[in-house]
Amino acid sequence: MIETVKLSKIFKGKKAVDEIDLYIDEGESIGLLGPNGAGKSTTISMISTLLKPTSGDVKLNGKSTIKNPGEIRRILGVVPQEIALYEELTAYENLKFFGEIYHVKKNILEQRTQEVLEMVGLKKRQKELVKTFSGGMKRRVNIAAALLHQPKVLILDEPTVGIDPQSRNHILETVRKLNEEYGTTVLYTSHYMEEVEQLCKRVYIMDHGKVVAAGSKEELLSILSSEDMIQVTLSETSERVVEKVKAINNIRRVDVTDKSLRIISKKGSSILSDLVHAVESEAIHLTNFQMEKPSLEDVFLHITGRTLRD
Give whichever of 120 and 146 is closer to other proteins, judged by the CB atom. 146
Secondary element (H or E) of residue 185: strand 185-190
Number of residues near other proteins (by CB under 8 A): 27
The SS3 of residue 13 is coil
Contact between 42 and other proteins per CB under 8 A: no
- Residue 125 CA: distances (Å) to CA of 94, 118, 137: 13, 10, 10
Give whichever of 103 and 293 is closer to other proteins, judged by the CB atom. 103
Give whichever of 102 and 192 is closer to other proteins, judged by the CB atom. 102
CB of 276 vs other proteins, minimal distance in Å: 55
Contact between 10 and other proteins per CB under 8 A: no
**Pair 46, 58: CB distance under 8 Å:** yes
Task: Report how far Cα 287 is from the mean position of its chain's Cα atoms.
Answer: 34
Neighbours of 93 (CB within 10 A): 17
**Pair 278, 245: CB distance under 8 Å:** yes
Contact between 188 and other proteins per CB under 8 A: no
Contact between 192 and other proteins per CB under 8 A: no
Contact between 272 and other proteins per CB under 8 A: no
Give whichever of 17 and 78 is closer to other proteins, judged by the CB atom. 78
- Residue 178 CA: distances (Å) to CA of 37, 123, 223, 255: 28, 18, 30, 38
Secondary element (H or E) of residue 243: helix 239-246
In this structure, which amino acid lies at residue 8?
S
Contact between 98 and other proteins per CB under 8 A: yes
CB of 77 vs other proteins, minimal distance in Å: 9
Beta bridge partners, 55, equal 8
Give whichever of 83 and 161 is closer to other proteins, judged by the CB atom. 83
Give whichever of 72 and 245 is closer to other proteins, judged by the CB atom. 72
Among 85, 147, 163, 232, binds other proteins (CB under 8 A): 85
Beta bridge partners, 131, equal none
Among 10, 97, 192, 303, binds other proteins (CB under 8 A): 97
Nearest one of 130, 127, 133, 115 to 178, comparing CA atoms? 115
Contact between 73 and other proteins per CB under 8 A: yes
What residues numbered 131-160 form the site for other proteins, per CB under 8 A? 145-146
Q: Which residues bind other proteins (CB under 8 A)?
A: 48-50, 52, 73-74, 76, 78, 80-86, 88-89, 93, 97-98, 100-103, 129, 145-146
